[in-house]
Amino acid sequence: MHALIFDRFGGPEVLRWDTVADPSPGPAQAVVRMQAVGLNFADVYRRNGNYHLSGQAPWILGYEGAGVIETAAAGDSRFPVGTRVGFADMPYANAERVVVDVDKLIPLSDDIHVETAAAVLLQGLTAQYLLSDSFKIQAGNTVIVHAAAGGVGLLLTQMAKAAGARVIGVASTAAKCAAAMEAGADTAIGYENLVDNVHTLTHGRGADVVYDSVGRTLGDSLASARTGGTVVFYGMAAGDPDPVDPRLLMDRSLTLTGGDLWNVLTSADIRRERAAALFAQIRAGSLVPRIAGRFPLSDGAKAHAFLEGREAIGKIVLTL
């Protein structure tokens, strides 16, 4: 089969489309013939050597995607050959065939396109738990969403609005602020004078919850939350945050919590229930995934360069 591989760390140019051995499924694993793959910044970090990679070179990136069952798992009747499926957390997805644990397979109904699944599963399930587990959004809450034009940010904005919240989107450019507004944000602002602008918009009160995936902005996020408010820290797109003095949390009765999707998707049933709820929102029209660009997987280097250019608004999908 073919796969997008690399054998040294570096820029997009280290990626190449080449022939590798077909994967061999183990117990309770199926082989999925891929049709669409989601591209994430974690792929860039692994390509650069900043994230852990198991095994030896050449390496294959990718953790989410969608396709059809080509080889069913031995003894499994739920996912026979030809079943349309997606997954959000199996490695080596940047290939024509991928081995996937049966417990991690998510069935796709006919009205969910493979590109939609590849674009929404990882980031949509992330946005979902951020609003339901890390902080329970209620109607009337004021919510700040950092990186509001990113893959998670656009979905998070739409979900928060569907729950009745007032959303202040934060983005780095005018075009990204416009995209946040299109997704339903009530207001979109830049990072300059962030705290002052938030306090002006909230009449000095601050936000009930701030979702921060940027990292370096954590201090501003804490300052933008109301007394008794919550900051949900779930990413470090711009680098590690500065240490937080716990006395700050005490003095203003703030809650600082972290979030990781893998602490939530603890069983096959939970994974599929949450994915089904996500797809229901898409069918209802309250959640509209935005695809920033489509690239053939064989042109994955171009897709990586586009993602790193920081101009992408929404999700980049690699197709086969």
Report pLDDT digits (tens) over 110-123.
Answer: 999 999 999 999 99
Q: Is a pLDDT exceeding 90 seen at residue 259?
A: no
Check residue 102 and report its DSSP letter.
G
Q: Is a pLDDT exceeding 90 seen at residue 304?
A: yes
pLDDT-derived band of residue 53, with 50, 70 and 90 as boundaries? confident
Phi, psi of 93 (to 5 degrees): -75, -15
What integer is the mean pLDDT of 136-141? 95
Report pLDDT digits (tens) over 205-253.
Answer: 999 999 999 989 999 999 999 999 999 999 887 788 899 999 999 999 9
What topology is assigned to 139-258 in CATH?
Rossmann fold (3.40.50)
Percentage with pLDDT > 90 across the chain: 90
Please state which CATH class domain 2-120+263-319 belongs to.
alpha beta
Q: What is the pTM of this model?
A: 0.92
pLDDT-derived band of residue 55, with 50, 70 and 90 as boundaries? confident
**Alpha-carbon distance 199 to 169, whole Å?**
14
Domain residue limits, the chain: 2-120+263-319, 139-258
Tokens of 269: 């049933």
**Alpha-carbon distance 172 to 69, whole Å?**
41
**Alpha-carbon distance 232 to 246, whole Å?**
15
pLDDT-derived band of residue 21, with 50, 70 and 90 as boundaries? very high
Nearest to 90 by CA among 34, 143, 20, 140: 34
Nearest to 70 by CA among 82, 61, 78: 82
pLDDT-derived band of residue 298, with 50, 70 and 90 as boundaries? very high
Strands 207-212 and 291-296, sheet pairing: unpaired
Q: Is 269 exposed, middle or buried (0-12, 13-18, 19+ CB in 10 A)?
A: exposed
Contacts of 263 (CB under 8 A, 6+ apart): none
**Is there a shared CATH topology between the 2-120+263-319 domain and the 139-258 domain?**
no
**Alpha-carbon distance 22 to 3, whole Å?**
10
pLDDT-derived band of residue 135, with 50, 70 and 90 as boundaries? very high
Q: What pLDDT score does 239 carry?
A: 80
Where is 256: in which H helix or E strand? strand 255-258
